[in-house]
Structures are given as structure tokens and as C-alpha cells.
Structure 1
Amino acid sequence: MTKQTTKWFTSWFDTPFYHILYKDRNTAEAQAFMDTLTDYLNIPEGGTILDLACGKGRHARYLNKIGYDVTGADLSENSIAFAKQFENHRLHFVVHDMCKPFAKQFDAVFNLFTSFGYFEHDEDNLNTIKSIKTNLNEKGLAVIDFMNSEQVIANIVSEEVKMIDDIEFYLKRFVDDGYIIKDIKFTVDGEDYHFQERVRAFMLSDFEALFEEAGVYLLDVFGDYKLRKFHSKTSERLIMIFK
């Protein structure tokens, strides 16, 4: 029997296998990015940050550690249940759909590590931008940290096998109908699993169109976690600051 998901992000992110596949993410790099980003944005001491699509809270926990009042929000109930063990009076985690406005406003809203462009319907991407705008206070700033789709497509690895925690993950990557797709297959305890990650291959121009329609203003664009200049053909990331 093969277990397969249709609305991939509501089930794949809720499995332990997602976190196994990505367990080797660079924590030091993520923390250095948070240091650089919060310094650049000049978020007030003790300021409030919404980490939108926070996963298990690795960014949110570090942001709280360096002095911010942080709310982590994610659609994955399992990820939020895990993150809640780290809560304190200035760190909270909630299950939340990022297409909808949050109940309060913040000094900053972060959407990190390509946690955008999952939706099947374009209006959901637009509604997410509109919600982020609603979630900002008068001086608040928002950040979307997205992949650089042009660079990813040019350097795509079509097939790969990864052995992690005795699980052999078979990965296929391809571009189809405006989406960058990762096909993921593996077997655990004699049961076959099949998941897909589908992320819209948004370019900077696509975000600019979304921002204009949502009535937000793009302030800066960077190409990596050290906030160096964005180059469409070579930069690893597409990091956008807006309000």
C-alpha cells in the first residue's frame, strides 16, 4: 500500500519523515541570518515578531533567545505541538492558516525558508500577502525568504537518493506548469510512502505583481543570508523586505 497526499503541505509537514529528510539544515547559518536580519531591520528591543509558517520553531526559538517577543504560527498541528514545549511568557506557538490575518499586529512578520507559494489557487498567495500587511503595526516590516527560482531551475538535480536514519529517500525534481516539484518516495516497515512538494516557481517580478495588488511596498531585495545584492542567475535566495 502506498500512502499519498493530495494537498501536500497539510500532510507531508505533519509527518515525522519530513523532519528526518531535512534534519541536517544548517542551524548556525539560520541563527546568523536572524542576527543579521534583525540588526538590519532595527527591530526595537523586546519587539514583537510573527514567525509565519514556523515549523517546529527553530527560528522563533532563537529570535526569542536574543530578546524578542515571538509568536510562531504554522498549519501543522504536530509541529506546533512539538514547539509548545519551548514556550515561555514571550514565546508562543499556535496553529494558524497564513492566508488569514492573525489576531494582533507585530513589529515584524517573517516568512522564512521558502514557506510561500504552496497553494493551488493564486488568490491564496495574494491573501497571504494581504494578511501579512494586516499583521504589521504602523512601523512594522515584513520579510519573505524565498528560493531564487531562476537559479534553482537552472541547476536542478533531477534524481537523487539520500540515506537518512536508515530510510532511503528517492527524490525526483522537475518543473511542471509553473511549479518546482520534488517527488519523494521511501519505504518504512514494509509500507511505501509517496509525497510531493509543489512550490510555485515565483520570480521577483511575480512577487512585485503580488505586492502591487496587495498594496504593499517592496523596500529591499537581497540574494543570500548575509544580505548581499540579489542576482537573478546566481543568488541562492530571494529575500524581500516590504511594508
Structure 2
Amino acid sequence: MRAELLHALRDPGGAGERVRGVPRAGVLLRTDWWRSYFDEGYVREYEPLFDLAEDRRQVGRLIELLQLPSGARVADIPCGQGRHAHLLAEAGYDVDGLDLSAHLLALAKRRGTGRTLRYRRGDMRRLPAAWTGRFDAVLNLFSSFGFFADARDDARVIGEFARVLKPGGVLVWQGGSRDGVMARFLPSDWWTTADGTVIAQDREFDPVSGFLTIKSLWQGRRGTERREHRIRLYTATRMAELMLEAGLVVEQAWESFTRKPLTRRSSEMLLLARKEP
């Protein structure tokens, strides 16, 4: 869930009119929803966000922030369908992408692989042992964090990112900011995909667990389908604490991929944290 516009804020329909029949968000039946969610349906659901021009803009901003030489080793975790990884490889970096979704990895590989671009399947809580101290930069983009039922797993993920970084390497983390999301929370919205399918979402936030639960209803030529996922939202303060506990010090905080400093009303944030020598 990698989202330039966090799901809780997206209102492509403009007026935010609800489509009847969207179930209210409630208790998620499967805590491991992420094992099967990132499939063809995910790609269709968030199709409006997957734009090559926007991908190029984001990668341009990443290159500006990273300030790394050609050939530097970069890990994109999770890499999804390779939207950022293949552009970073084109820009001259040596890139490894890791994702748990076989479907998204297949899409990523269709974009191309090679000597400086490799993909593998894996769980970001347990990165390959051989990756220890390998990377100049690790990227965690598109709200790809906070999936797990146990919040300690989120801390483990940050710890794994720190482990695979070289001393002095940087983590770029981009995702939703709990403060900004709550300030501009939309409980429901809807939009239409390219094939005419209407997708409506209802959302509910639990302030104790920090989970934002999103229930989607699809209505189109293929019939009706319901999908559900959830993500734990963090404040910038808590993210900085998690990173510091792993030996990463936040040096920069931005409003997503923009050049605007992060504020309490920013719905998305981009944090750049450096591994201590």
C-alpha cells in the first residue's frame, strides 16, 4: 500500500459521494491479510496512483535526497511491481528489490532485470543474511509499513533495514503521517477505474492499536467483490524513535516527495535517517 495519496485521504470523485452497500469497517478477520492482498485486484484498485510520470518525479526526488554516486547499492523493500526500482537502475544504481507478492514480482520482472537490477521474494521482517552491511541506501516507500498485527514486527522491520545498511548508509521511509491523516480524515470515498469498475471504500480508525481499516466494495462488469486491508499509522515522532532504537538517526523530514518541510497537517511524510558509523 504504497500510496502517494494515503487511502484515508483519497477522494477522486471530488464530492466524496458514497456508493450504497459499502460495509462499515470492523474487526479484520485475517491478521495476515498482506499474504494474499497484493494481487491483480490490488493493482486494479490503485490503478489511478500508478503513473509513470509521477514515478519518474519521485525517483528524481530520491536521487536528489540520496546524493549517491553511480553504482551505489540500493535496496527497495518491498519493491512491489518495480515502479521505483527499475528507474533507479536506469539512473545508474545497483538495485535489489524484495517483495512477498509473487504477482507483483512477476510484474516487476517484466519491466526488466539484469546485472544491476535483481528481484527476489522474501519477508521484510527477515532479510537475507548475506545482505548484512551491503547497501548504501534502503527505501521503504508507498506506505509499505505497519501491516503486521504485532507492533513489535514493525520494529523488527526497521531493525532489519538498519542491519543491511552500511555504516553511514541511509534509510528513506515514505508513508502516512498519523497526525495529518487524522486531521483530514475521510471515512469514505469512491472512484472509477479505466474499465468502468466503481470502487468504494469505507474506513475506520482505532486510536488504541493505531490501525486504519479499509473495506472496499467493487461493482463492475465482473460483478461485485469485497476486499479488506489495514495499516498501522505512526506519528513522525514514533517513527523517529523506532529508527533511533535501531541505530538510525533522522536527519530530514519532508511532506512526502515534495520539498516542503513536514508539518502536523502533512498527510504523508518522507523521513531520511542515517545509520550511525
Residues 8 and 197 of structure 1 are in contact (CA less than 8 Å); yes or no, is this contact kept in structure 2?
yes
Say yes or no: does 1:208 pair with 2:232.
Answer: no
Closer, same or farther in 2 for the Cα pair 1:237/1:160, shift >3 Å? Answer: closer
Inter-partner Cα distance in structure 2 for 1:212 and 1:137: 16
Once the two structures are superposed, the pairs formed by residues 90-239 of structure 1 within 5 Å of their partners are 90-102=116-128, 103-104=130-131, 105-164=134-193, 165-176=195-206, 177-187=209-219, 192-233=224-265, 235-239=266-270
CA displacement at 1:238 relative to structure 2: 1.2
Separation in 2, partners of 1:139, 1:214: 13
The CA RMSD over aligned residues, in Å, is 1.9
Note the C-alpha offset of 1:190: 6.4
| Equivalent AA in structure 2 for residue 155 of structure 1 | R
Once residues 175 and 27 of structure 1 are traced to their aligned partners in structure 2, the CA distance between those partners, rounded to angstroms, is 31
Code of the aligned partner of 2:245: E
Q: 1:193 to 1:37 in 2, by over 3 A?
A: same
1:77 aligns to what?
102
One-letter amino acid of the counterpart of residue 91, structure 1: L
Greater RCO (Cα-Cα under 8 Å, separation 6 or more)? 2
The letter of the residue matching 2:104 is: S
Contact 2:197 2:221 in 1 (8 A): no
Residue 27 of structure 1: CA displacement? 3.0
Gaps of 5+ in 2: 1-27
Q: 1:147–1:237: 8 Å Cα contact kept in structure 2?
A: yes
**Alpha-carbon deviation of 1:236?**
3.7
Q: How many residues align?
A: 238
1:84–1:220 distance in 2 versus 1, CA, 3 Å = same
SS of structure 2 residue aligned to 1:20: helix
Q: Deviations over 1:27-71 (max 9, x none)?
A: 323322221222222112121110001110000011111111111
Structure 1 contact 170–186 (Cα < 8 Å) conserved: yes
Say if 1:5 and 1:11, in contact at 8 Å, map to a contact too.
no
Give the equivalent residue in structure 1 for 2:114: 88
Identity %: 27
Structure 1 counterpart of 2:48: 24
Q: Measure how far apart 1:76 and its partner are.
A: 0.5
Q: Which runs of 5+ in 1 are unaligned?
A: none
Looking at structure 2, the residues matched to 192 and 5 of structure 1 have their Cα atoms a distance apart, in angstroms, of 20
Instruction: Provide the TM-score with structure 1 as the length reference.
Output: 0.90
> Is the Cα–Cα contact under 8 Å of residues 77 and 139 in structure 2 kept in the other structure?
yes
Contact 1:162 1:170 in 2 (8 A): yes
Give yes or no for contact 1:156–1:174 (8 Å, CA) kept in 2. Answer: no
8 Å Cα contact 2:179/2:267 also seen in 1: no
Answer yes or no: is the 8 Å Cα contact 1:184–1:196 preserved in 2: yes
CA distance in 2, matches of 1:158, 1:170: 11
Shift of 1:187: 4.9
Q: Which residue of 2 aligns with 1:9?
A: 34
Q: Report which of the two has the higher share of helix.
A: 1
Q: Which protein is richer in strand relative to its size?
A: 1
**In structure 1, distance between residues paired with 2:240 and 2:116:** 34
| 1:136 Cα offset (Å) | 0.5
C-alpha distance in 1, partners of 2:99/2:216?
A: 22
Shift of 1:9: 1.4
The runs of at least 4 consecutive aligned structure 1 residues that moved more than 4 Å come to: 187-192
Cα offset, 1:181, TM superposition: 1.9
Is contact 1:5–1:195 with CA below 8 Å preserved after alignment? no
